Every structure is written in structure tokens, then in C-alpha cells.
Amino acid sequence: MIIVVAKDGTGDFTSLQAAVDALPEAAGASPSIILLRSGEYREKVVIHRDHVRLLGEDRDRTVITWNGCAQDQYEDGTVKGTFLSATLTTTGHNIEVENLTVRNDAGDGREVGQAVAVYAAGDRGVWRGCSFIAHQDTLFCGPVRLPNTLEEILPRQGRAEESIRVEGGPLTFSRQYFEDCFIQGDVDFIFGSYRCWFERCTLFMNERGGFYTAANTNRAQPFGFVFHRCRLTGACQPGEGFLGRPWRRFARTVFLECEMDEHVAPEGFCDWDADRVVTDRYAEWHTTGARADQSTRHPSQKRLTDEEALLITLPQVLGGADGWQPDRRIPTWFLCGDSIMADYPQESAPMTGWGQVLRPFIPENVYIANEAVCGRSTRSFMDEGRLERIALCLREGDRVLIGFAHNDEKQEDPSRYTAPDSSFPQNLNCFIDTALAHGASPVLLTPVVRRLFDESGCLVPTHGPYPDAVRRLAKERGIPLIDLEQATASLVEQAGPEGSREIYCHVPIGHPNYPDGLEDNSHLSLTGAVRIARLVLSQLSR
């Protein structure tokens, strides 16, 4: 389910940290989605759960900001240091952050020391279309480093990445991927020990100048930071932005096909001190722009040949044993419907929505966002802003499965009723148009039949003109149709009056969740939900 955070109180939470804390500790197969509405959220945030998608409504108007810095003190007067200064820390694995700005506004590092905007401490982090804005030490990609750091930023979880301390920094197996991001800072403003790939990012050096990178790569790691097709620019004087310096002796940083303007120092990389010097683990290839001339570069940096550069690929750098492909966005199927499709808590078992059990039967790699809610019609679903929430999360390649009618039929309830020949198809058109406007694929579904047999054992249709209204609209709009009414009618008729009981939620007296028993001929049992989920997929694949 999509969780909405809104400053004005129109969402589920007004604080991002409160929304994160409310997420279940046990991660499901699909990530929890947190939608952050536009506004400035002045808070220090730790995402301490796995499998989370944090989506901003607008990159420039959705801002998380804090003013932590290395000079902040504990009550006893000791300073907290760099790694407790971050505005946003992600310690969970499989975190995706998109379309927002993270800022540390503590100020100039000459006055406050290091002040981190983002501390990416987990594995398989994906950052798309984000802005990170700070001064000294903007973006850190590395494990939780110190016991006091762990205690303060992870009081709820108590988990640190295991690391092996060897020369050159910790040996880590974690990875972060950045795509179309804007990263602004000055001294060492991208630093850490993780393997990171930066695709089409803009690196902006502040007026102070300094070093775009300060890698801390372990000697045993073949890759550290890789920048591909990025642009390096800034506000400093020409030549005052160095490509990087080695935080530890075996740091590795590579720039591939990047554009570098006059703010970049002609020397490129720079030694840190007499012990931490530039080696051939620093490299460039096919640089363009005002600083494309590599003849002025540090004498020890590597000038990659075409053959050497072509071996530095995203799968090679970040793939790992799990074959991770962060550049390939995993599509999401958004399910829009009512109680027949919805998720149910354990205390409602064996009542099950077919959307609840859909994911295990999908052969491809997709996420399921089941937004179906019990008792909703097309009207009430939209009136509650649920379609608007989905619209803000939709991306090209997603799917929207639209299945209503059970509650649209209820003439006695004006808050839900829609007319089959007017408002019902009009509302369905709103769902279709929303999906298409965001590059997603809409799919219409007719409703599941109710279990109602006449005296002769024939199934009695109960949905009136609504299924035909869905069929007509699918044909008019050229939208894929899953005819669940027809498919489930065949299923129920074949099972017969007695055999079909197992498809629906029929519970004997004495069940822990239904002490008085239950005879429900509309809602599904686990058996029925599984059968119908498989019907959905069989028709979808046609």
C-alpha cells in the first residue's frame, strides 16, 4: 500500500521518519512505497527497513533538510563527528529513492566541519533524479563505521554491516547506483568505500573548491567509484576542483565519457599526502569539455585504452553474484479494486483477495502494489484520493489493473453508486487516462461472479449491466480486457453448488477468526483467491 507523507496533514503522516517507523519489519516481495508530497521536511531521517521506495512528488519542491555537522556535541562536550551529521541515512537494503532533494544546510565546512546530506549504508541502493546539496562531505557511501554511530542512528534496529578492516579501508560488498542525480558540495563531497556507479549525474563544485571525490576503496576490491557520462561543473574559480584524492592508499575512481568544464583542475587527481598518493587505480577515458586534455593530468593516473575501458561496465562493477541490474527499473503493477482484490490481515483468514496472492504466479520480475480496498467503488476510490496517489507513483512500463463493480452497483449508497451507462464508464476512463498519461498500461477487469444458484442448480448473474459496460469500454478504448465474470462463471458452474463452496469464504463454526462461522458467497477463500489469480494471469498473457 502507498503511504503518503504530507506537511499539510492530508496524508497518512506529516513526518517522513514516522512513516518509516510504521513500516513492517518483515519485508515483503514488493517494496513498501512512501510518497513524499511537496514541501520542506525539516527532520533527520533514518530508513532502517529493507525494501522501501521513497518517491518525491517534485524533485525541486520536495526537500528533506537538516543542519547536522561534525561539530555537534554530546552533553559531555565531545563532538559527534562526520557520520552522525547526515540528513538522510539509509541502513536498509534494497532502498530506492527518487525525485526529491536532500540537503544539509549546516553551512561552510570551514566553520562547521563536515556536514553530510546522504549517508548510504545499505546494499543495493538506487537513487534516481535526486539532488544532494551540502558543503563539505555531501554524500557518503559506506558501512556504519563506529559503535556510537550505530547506537545513535540505529536505535530501533541494531544492525551494522560486517566489515573486515584491512589496509585501504573496510572490505565491503555493498553497492549504490545513482542515475540523473545532481550532487553539490566542495571538499571530498563524494566519499566512501562502496562500489558506486554514477550514470548521467551532474557534480557541482561550490565556490570554495576542493575535491569531487575521496574514495576509500579496499585493496581487494577491483572497483570503487565509477562515473559514466557525467558532467563536472561548479561555481569555484577555474581549476579549483580536483577530480579526487585518495582517502586511503588503494582508492579507486574512474571517469568514463564525462564532460569536464574549466572548473576542473588541469591536473585532474591530487595526492592527499606523502603516503596516500594517486596510483593507476585512478583513471579517465574519453573525457570531453574544456578539461578534456589528459596531457596535463597527474603522472601516476591511468590513461585507459579503449579495450580496458570497455571492460568497466555496470554489470561488472555492480552486478555481483545476484546479477543485480539497477539500471533496469522493475515495473510495478498497481491493483485498483475492491474487497475481492484487496489484501487481508491474518485475523481475517481464510478470507483472501486474489491480488494478495498474485505475485508468486508472475514469472517476470515485477512489483505488486495492491491498492484495492474493501468496500470501494470507482467513485469512492477516486473521492478518497487513491487514484491521485497512484498517479504520483506511476512510471513508464508500469501496469494498472482496474477491477470494480461490486460496490458501484449499490444504489442505496450515493457515496458509492455509479450508473452503468454513464458515471461508471466515465470513472473507468479516468483510471485509463491516468495510466496512459504516465506511460503505464491500463487493463480492465469485469467483476468476479457471486455464488448464487437457482433451484435448478444454474448460476444466477448478479452484476446486471456492469460487466457489459466494462467490455464495451475496453473495445472502444482498445484496452486489454480480463473477463473475470465469464471466466469465474465457468469455474463456479463447473464446481457446482456444493463444490464451489471452497472457492468462497465458507468457514465452519468454531474457527478462531469466525467463532460463529461464516457463509460468504461474494468474498474468496485462499483456494478461490489462488484460482482467480491464476485466471487473471492466464488471460493477461494472451
Active site residues: 339, 519, 523
Q: For 74-102, what is the HEC assignment?
A: CCCCCECCHHHCCCEEECCCCEEEECCEE
All three cell numbers of 225, joined, read: 567509484
> If DSSP codes are grouped into helix, strand and coil, which group holds residue 397?
coil
Amino acid (one-letter) located at 393:
C
**Dihedral (Cα; 72, 74, 77, 78), 10-degree rounding:** -80
Give start and end residues of each alpha helix (H) in 478-513: 484-499
My answer on whether omega of the bond before 447 falls inside 30° of 0, hence cis, is: no
Q: What angle do CA 129, 50, 80 make, to 5 degrees?
A: 80
Beta bridge partners of 333: 368, 399
Cα four-point dihedral sign 269, 272, 273, 274: negative
CA distance 5 to 13: 5
Cβ count within 10 A of residue 302: 18
Cβ count within 10 A of residue 489: 17
CA distance 10 to 390: 15
